[in-house]
């Protein structure tokens, strides 16, 4: 048995239509990836599982879908315009550019010897564009580098339209853009990605307890969907790692690089921060955006105060915020890596299988005719597929892309929990064979009971 490496997962993803390099036909665009037929299903399922757990199954979180393009003042008062940058260095020999924290000391230079690096200087990661037909500084807008700011500037709108009381949260899933200096490691670090973020507003003084509870909630969610304990770690940030506005941040680290030496195998999949009242104060009339060096910017543009009226004390206050923030792409990659297994079977055969949680699997059931040149069999398989699909509860696929062994291998590789095979006998006795992905065991089931049988096991 062998587990995943990033290279193996990349290869499977390309082979089976999960991901393709962005703009591949024209030589690609670095830091972009296109989700193929299987990838789009996986990604949608990850988002659905997150939304279900954090919005539908709780009674204290509302959803939001804010615009990607925002008034540039949003990103000025959030502090991003002045400080959303990474320190970068240039190599004088090979002319390549690196993020300071991503280059090893004495790393080999392709032009010979080791790199000859310049002093670090800041590089703003936001993509700029102009809004409207005139290109000038007045009309600049940024593609948002995180979804969070769309939530903060809508705090009052959501509060007033839902009559919420603290504590409550706002959840959002959407695209974010960062002009990363060195996009790499497949979909781990890209320039266009999706985030799933919650801003959970609490009474000051209860923030530490809620921070702890959100860390537990988020860890439990990963385990619920199949991530193994040994592959997920909590890392409380210390010292300089912590943003100046954060009281505490715990990163959840996943073992993205099992092939690396000990100590370099884990990297961030999600961060859970206690951001205090920093963001709401930044985005409030007369509020202050405070920078790391102690300087500040007074908000002269917001049209109202973003505060909360506490009926118990008859006072207006600014809530504290707990922020669980994960990237859809990184999370999908973690699920892919955890699910990946190469198995040696009896008789010397091998197979690769994705043990994805059924809720995440791109396809739940593949219906396969044993002989694709037998019209009766094909017709029966197509009818079964249609009936299952029409339930709306299981993505079903008709698969006659090869012989039965090839179909099983393909479905194992994309993580399909069940294959239903229609054979000669099925035409007579109206029974089909159901093959289970993980055990490869087979059951003979009457077509009339098939839907119930599958639903029970997919639940
Ligand atoms: P890193 O240190 O890896 O650059 P970050 O700490 O800047 O990440 P956050 O700003 O906390 O990341 O963003 C929250 C989440 O968004 C991350 O945990 C990650 O899952 C995702 N994310 C951030 N940047 C990228 C990126 N360039 N590509 C893919 N996902 C990303």
In tens, the pLDDT along 60-93 reads 999 999 999 999 999 999 999 999 988 899 999 9
Mean pLDDT of 427-453: 97
Q: Between 432 and 87, name the one with better pLDDT.
A: 432
Q: Residue 310 carries which DSSP code?
A: E
Q: What is the pTM of this model?
A: 0.95
Tell which one of 86, 193, 222, 256 to mutate to probe ligand 1, the residue whose CB is within 8 A of the most ligand atoms: 193
- Beta-carbon contacts of 388 under 8 Å, excluding residues fewer than 6 positions away, are 365, 367, 394, 396, 450, 451, 454
Question: What ligand 1 atom has the least distance to the C-alpha of 189?
Answer: 28
- DSSP H stretches of helix in 239-365: 278-282, 328-339
Q: For the chain, give the mean pLDDT.
A: 96
Question: What ligand 1 atom has the least distance to the C-alpha of 188?
Answer: 29
**Any idea how long the chain is?**
459
Please report how many Cα atoms fall inside a 13 Å half-sphere around the Cα of residue 388, on the Cβ side: 29
State the CB neighbour count (10 A cutoff) for residue 419: 26
**CA separation (Å) from 310 to 50, 287, 314, 315, 351?**
30, 19, 6, 5, 60
Tokens of 191: 């320039």
State if residue 329 touches ligand 1 by the CB under 6 angstroms criterion: yes
Kindly tell me if the per-residue pLDDT of 104 is higher than 90. no
Q: Give 250's pLDDT tier (boundaries 50, 70, 90).
A: very high
Mean pLDDT of 333-357: 96
Are 312 and 166 in contact, with CB atoms under 8 Å apart? no
pLDDT at 3: 83
Q: Which residue has the tokens 């040696």?
A: 344
Tell which one of 43, 266, 267, 268 to mutate to probe ligand 1, the residue whose CB is within 8 A of the most ligand atoms: 268
pLDDT at 459: 85
d(CA 24, CA 12): 17
Tokens of 383: 């009818």
Tell which one of 86, 143, 232, 327 to mutate to probe ligand 1, the residue whose CB is within 8 A of the most ligand atoms: 327
* Parallel, antiparallel or unpaired: strands 168-177 and 61-64: parallel
Residue of minimum CA distance from atom 23 in ligand 1: 327
State if residue 253 touches ligand 1 by the CB under 6 angstroms criterion: no
**CA separation (Å) from 15 to 10, 102, 332, 415, 451?**
9, 30, 17, 14, 30
Q: Tell me: the pLDDT tens digits for 272-323?
A: 999 999 999 999 999 999 999 999 999 999 999 999 999 999 999 999 999 9
Give the Å distance between the CA of 327 and the centre of ligand 1: 6
State if residue 275 touches ligand 1 by the CB under 6 angstroms criterion: no
Tokens of 251: 């990163």
State if residue 218 touches ligand 1 by the CB under 6 angstroms criterion: no
State if residue 158 touches ligand 1 by the CB under 6 angstroms criterion: no
Tell me if residue 284 falls in helix, strand or coil. coil
Kindly tell me if the per-residue pLDDT of 1 is higher than 80. no
Q: Give 423's pLDDT tier (boundaries 50, 70, 90).
A: very high
Give the Å distance between the CA of 85 and the centre of ligand 1: 13
Q: Tell me: the pLDDT tens digits for 119-139?
A: 999 889 999 999 999 999 899
pLDDT at 101: 85
The mean-pLDDT minimum among 12-26, 94-108, 110-124, 164-178 falls in 94-108
- DSSP H stretches of helix in 142-198: 148-152, 155-162
Mean pLDDT of 327-352: 96
pLDDT at 320: 98
Percent of the chain at pLDDT exceeding 70: 100
């Amino acid at each position: 048995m062998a587990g995943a490496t990033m290279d193996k997962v990349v290869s499977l993803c390309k082979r089976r239509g999960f991901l393709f390099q962005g703009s591949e036909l024209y030589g690609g665009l670095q830091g972009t990836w296109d989700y193929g037929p299987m990838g789009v299903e996986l990604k949608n399922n990850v988002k659905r599982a997150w939304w279900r757990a954090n919005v539908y199954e709780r009674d204290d979180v509302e959803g939001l879908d804010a615009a990607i393009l925002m008034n540039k003042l949003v990103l000025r008062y959030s502090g991003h315009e002045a400080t959303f940058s990474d320190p970068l260095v240039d190599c004088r020999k090979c002319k390549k550019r690196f993020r300071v924290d991503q280059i090893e000391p004495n790393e080999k230079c392709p032009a010979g010897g080791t790199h000859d690096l310049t002093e670090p200087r800041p590089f703003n990661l936001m993509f700029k564009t102009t809004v409207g037909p005139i290109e000038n500084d007045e009309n600049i807008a940024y593609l948002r580098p995180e979804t969070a700011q769309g939530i903060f500037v809508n705090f009052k709108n959501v509060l007033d339209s839902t009559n919420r009381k603290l504590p409550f949260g706002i959840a959002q899933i959407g695209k974010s853009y960062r002009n990363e200096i060195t996009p790499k490691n497949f979909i781990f670090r890209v320039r266009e990605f999706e985030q799933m973020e919650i801003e959970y507003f609490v009474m000051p003084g209860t923030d530490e307890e809620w921070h702890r509870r959100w860390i537990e909630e988020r860890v439990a969610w990963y385990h619920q969907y199949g991530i193994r304990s040994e592959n997920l770690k909590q890392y409380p940030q210390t010292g300089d790692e912590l943003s100046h506005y954060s009281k505490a941040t715990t990163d959840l680290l996943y073992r993205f690089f099992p092939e690396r030496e000990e100590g370099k195998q884990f990297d961030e999949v999600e961060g859970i921060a206690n951001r205090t009242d920093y963001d709401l104060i930044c985005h409030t009339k007369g509020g202050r955006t405070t920078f790391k060096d102690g300087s500040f910017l007074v908000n002269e543009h917001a049209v109202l105060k973003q505060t909360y009226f506490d009926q118990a004390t008859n006072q207006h206050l600014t809530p504290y915020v707990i922020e669980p923030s994960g990237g859809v792409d990184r999370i999908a990659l973690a699920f892919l890596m955890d699910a990946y297994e190469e198995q040696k079977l009896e008789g010397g055969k091998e197979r690769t299988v994705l043990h994805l949680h059924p809720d995440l699997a791109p396809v739940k059931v593949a219906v396969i005719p044993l002989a694709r040149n037998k019209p009766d069999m094909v017709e029966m398989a197509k009818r079964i597929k249609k009936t299952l699909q029409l339930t709306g509860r299981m993505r079903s696929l008709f698969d006659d892309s090869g012989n039965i062994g090839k179909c099983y291998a393909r479905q194992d590789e994309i993580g399909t929990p069940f294959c239903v095979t229609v054979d000669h006998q099925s035409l007579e006795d109206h029974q089909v064979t159901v093959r289970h992905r993980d055990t490869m065991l087979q059951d003979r089931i009457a077509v009339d009971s098939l839907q119930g049988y599958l639903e029970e096991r997919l639940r």
